[in-house]
Amino acid sequence: MADEVGELSSEFASVRVRIDTDGNGPRLRVEDLRTGHVGFLDPLELETLAWLPEGGLHKLLDPSLHRWRAEDQER
Amino acid sequence: MTSAAATIPWDELIEHDRVHGSLYTDPDVYAAELERIWYRTWVYVGHVSEVPEPNDYVLKSIGPQPVIMSRDKQGEIHLLLNRCTHRANLVCDAPKGNSSAFRCPYHGWTFSNTGKLLGYPFNSGYAGTALKSELGLGRVPRVASYQGFVFGSFAEDGPTLEEHLGAATDAFDRLVRLSPTGEVELTAGWLQHKCKANWKMLLENETDGYHPQFVHSSIFSVAASGIGDLYGEKSTAVCRDLGNGHTENDLRPEFRRLDQPLGWFGTDPAKVPDYVDQLTAVHGERTREILVDGSPHVMVFPNLFIAEIQLFVIQPTAVDETVQHVTAVQYRGAPDMNRRMLQQTIGSVGPAGFLLADDSEMYERNQRGVQARNPEWLQIKRGTHRERQDENGFTVGDATDEVPQRAIWKHYRSLMEA
Amino acid sequence: MHGATPALDLDLLREVEQFVYREARYQDELQYDAWESLWTDDGVYWVPANGGDTDPTKQVSIMFDNRARIATRIKQLHTGKRHSQTPPSQLRRLVSNVELLPPPEGATFGPAGDVYAGANFLVYESRERGVTLWAGRSEYALRTTDDGLRMAFKKVTLVDSDRPLYTLAFLI
């Protein structure tokens, strides 16, 4: 079960966002519409996002952090 | 700290065919049981279907201890103690939820759902210390599951879960075999039934084949039920010592004699055609035999009672108070059968159940009766003269005999004297 | 869930109050047959567990009796061998906050009535175990018949339905 919140697109990314209730509590389900990859964020994680300082996600936006990385690359 | 168990003369309290009344009332005995049973052996905690998604958690217990059962993002199941490592507040309050991390409401200490301490507010107050690596949530050191049933043991070392379950693994196999998908789900929620009685009054009653005709005669006489006859003097059913304190009322001899598929559930295949078709697709010609044999009636020491279509979990909360948690077994992917099992469960068990309300009354009457000091002993000698070994070497007795009670106390004594 | 109370019909409210007080007296005084006669032929008696918002066709309940099961419950009490009521609980209950309510919205899991009402209760139960207090709310779907009001549906939501409960073998 998932209630649609909506789709958000920019020139760099397109995501569909839903509130998923398959688990023992609600989660935000985020689908990357270009690849179909799905991730979940729970309320405590989302609250943390609300308090992110400017640039707080910059480290995670590094394309080589986990999505595009060489097999032998050090983490 | 002196061991409570070491000061109690178990050999003077537990004999082969009688046990001393103080075992149900003495707070020192209860303390010894926590130490030697509940905080040492394998104890049933929860089922994988209660945390179906990554980051799901549910609150459970091991005896009086509050436990969080969580599934991490990789799918692994953890049993964490629900106690903040800072100043002992409960970390989780909701009976279930989905979160990758738990934040204590007292001072905001935050732990991952694997138990790791992620951080705390105003961290300059802890300068120079290595709190994060030292103060993760307490955990039940050994976690293992069988057919989706998750057990925990507070002992770092000891028998494996499968060694502990031993012959009782067959009960789980027989239970899930009745599901067309080979899986059960505990998704129907729990009733919590409290009684003023020692937990062993419940443990011993679960496989007591002597009581149904007396305790449950009121419902047998007004509702069409064949259960009473299963435990009659002429019944071909047997009771069995499965080893390690696990015990069984094996009703299969009676069901095979009656030879009615689903007769054990008081119905017939025509009432649940979809279920029977699904099961036939899996088991073919063996389906009929499986449906005749029915579901197990096995007490897994110390706290999980597989009662055909229900699961009971015994939780001691004090020497004279116990909570019995009960839910309906649900077969994954068998909605027609599940509806019936749920409605039969609601009618039979829990605080208002046609059966369990009366069992609980007996537990409480037992607890009041055992306060009397004469006689000092409870008799468990029924059927000692006709005990025998079955083809697999297990001790069995007639349907109404006290083989299970003797088996429970024999194992209990071995644990307390260990 | 019920919405706002409709325009007050004092005569009807009085009739409903007398009905729920009478039901309470039958329950307290173990007048099982008189109590059973207050039900319609399709009556449903529901005591949910774990809050009042569960679906009793998917989740366990403390009680979820159709009419046949209500009859079985009464027959079992009449045997005199319903041990959890032998001897019976000594009971007195207070019923208050009786209100006429509009028809409920959404699934109710019981048959419809032509009069809807709600009331709060506090039951004082004395047994050998000790005294147990049971507090909660009853919601009724009542039907007007030639013999007066009858219960088509009674939902009893205990304040502590999500906690461990002692045996509840009397009529709540």
Residue C32 domain flag: yes
Residues of B in Cβ contact (< 8 Å) with A38: none
In angstroms, how far apart are the furthest CA atoms of chain C?
48
CB pairs under 8 A between A and B: 42
Cα dihedral B342, B344, B345, B346 sign = positive
Instruction: Please state the rounded mean pLDDT for residues B343-364.
Output: 97
For helices B273-283 and B335-348, angle between their N-to-C axes, nearest 10 degrees? 120
pLDDT average, residue stretch B205-233 = 90
Residue A60 has a pLDDT of 85
Within an 8 Å CB–CB cutoff, is residue B250 touching chain A? no
Using DSSP's 3-state secondary structure scheme, residue B408 falls into helix
- Three-state DSSP class for residue A15: strand
Chain B contact present for C72, CB below 8 A? yes
DSSP secondary structure code for residue B323 in this structure:
E
Residue C20 lies in a domain: yes
Alpha-carbon gap, residue B225 to B229, rounded angstroms: 9
pLDDT, mean of residues A66-75: 64
Beta strand ranges found along B63-216 (DSSP E): 65-71, 77-81, 96-98, 101-103, 110-112, 117-119, 142-146, 149-153, 184-185, 191-195
Pull the structure tokens for residue B397: 């007795």
Interface contact C59-B223, CB threshold 8 A: no
Whole-number Å distance between alpha carbons of B16 and B18: 6
Task: Give the model's confidence band at A74: pLDDT under 50 very low, under 70 low, under 90 confident, else very high.
Answer: low
B109-142 burial, b if ≥16 CB within 10 A, otherwise e?
Answer: bbbbbbbebeebeeeeeeeeeeeeeebbbbbbeb
Q: Are C81 and C169 in contact (CB under 8 A)?
A: no
Residue B177: Cβ within 10 Å count: 18
**pLDDT tens digit string along C76-121?**
999 999 999 999 999 999 999 999 999 999 888 999 999 999 999 9
| φ/ψ of residue C138, rounded to 5 | -105, 135
Nearest Cα to Cα of residue B387 among B375, B396, B400: B396
CATH number, domain of C60, equals 3.10.450.50
pLDDT in tens, C15-31: 999 999 999 999 999 99
If residue B273 lies in a helix (H) or strand (E), which one and from where to where? helix B273-283
Longest dimension (CA), chain B: 76
Nearest to A23 among B52, B94, B103 (CB): B52
Ordered by start, the domain boundaries in chain A are 2-61
User: Is the pLDDT score of C3 beyond 80?
Assistant: no
Q: What letter does residue B300 receive in the DSSP assignment?
A: E
For chain A, the C-alpha Rg in angstroms (whole number) is 14
> In the prediction, which pLDDT does A70 show?
67
Residue A60 near chain B (CB below 8 Å): no
Question: pLDDT digits over B281-301, tens only?
Answer: 999 999 999 999 999 999 999
**Inter-chain residue contact C72 with B222, CB threshold 8 Å:** yes
**pLDDT band for position C8 (50/70/90)?**
confident
pLDDT for res C19: 98
Measured between CB atoms, which of C72, C83, C166 is closest to B358?
C83
| pLDDT > 70: percent of chain A | 91
Of how many residues is chain A composed?
Answer: 75
What is the rounded distance in angstroms from the CA atom of residue B193 to the CA atom of residue C165? 5
- Report ipTM (2 d.p.): 0.95
More confident of the two residues B122 and B286? B286
Chains in touch with B (3+ beta-carbon pairs under 8 Å) read: A, C
Residues of B in contact with A44 (CB under 8 A): 99-101, 103
Name the residue among B189, B192, B219 with its Cβ closest to that of C76. B219
**Distance from C-alpha of C105 to C-alpha of C5, rounded to nearest angstrom:** 13
**Predicted pLDDT of residue B228:** 79
> Of all residues in chain C, what percent carry a pLDDT higher than 90?
92
Is residue A59 predicted with pLDDT exceeding 70? yes
B381-404 per-position pLDDT tens digit: 999 999 999 999 999 999 999 999
What is the mean predicted confidence (pLDDT) over B172-194?
A: 98
Inter-chain Cβ pairs, chain B and chain C, closer than 8 A? 110
Domains within chain B, CATH numbers bracketed: 43-153 (2.102.10.10), 167-417 (3.90.380.10)
> In chain C, where does DSSP find H-type helix?
10-28, 32-36, 67-78
Sign of CA dihedral B347, B174, C58, A42: positive
Structural domain includes residue C135: yes
In a domain, C172, yes or no: no
Chain C: closest CA distance from residue B335 (Å): 10
From CA C150, how far away is CA A28, in angstroms rounded? 47
Find residue A4's DSSP bridge partners: A18
For chain C, the domain total comes to 1
Mean pLDDT to the nearest integer, B364-375? 96
% of chain B exceeding 70 in pLDDT: 99
Nearest to C50 among B189, B361, B364 (CB): B189
Which amino acid is it at B338?
Answer: N
What span, in angstroms and rounded, lies between the C-alpha atoms of B61 and B84? 16
Confidence category of residue C62, pLDDT binned at 50, 70, 90: very high
Q: Which of C73, C130, C167 sits opposite B351 (nearest CB)?
A: C167
pLDDT tier, B322 (very low <50, low <70, confident <90, very high otherwise): very high
* Residue C6: band (very low, low, confident or very high) from pLDDT cuts 50, 70, 90: low
Q: Which residue has the tokens 């976690």?
A: B143
Q: State chain B's mean pLDDT as an integer.
A: 96
**Mean predicted confidence (pLDDT) in A55-63:** 85
Range of the domain at C119: 10-158
Residues of chain B contacting residue C84, judged by C-beta atoms under 8 Å apart: 357-358, 360-361
Indicate whether A75 pLDDT > 80.
Answer: no
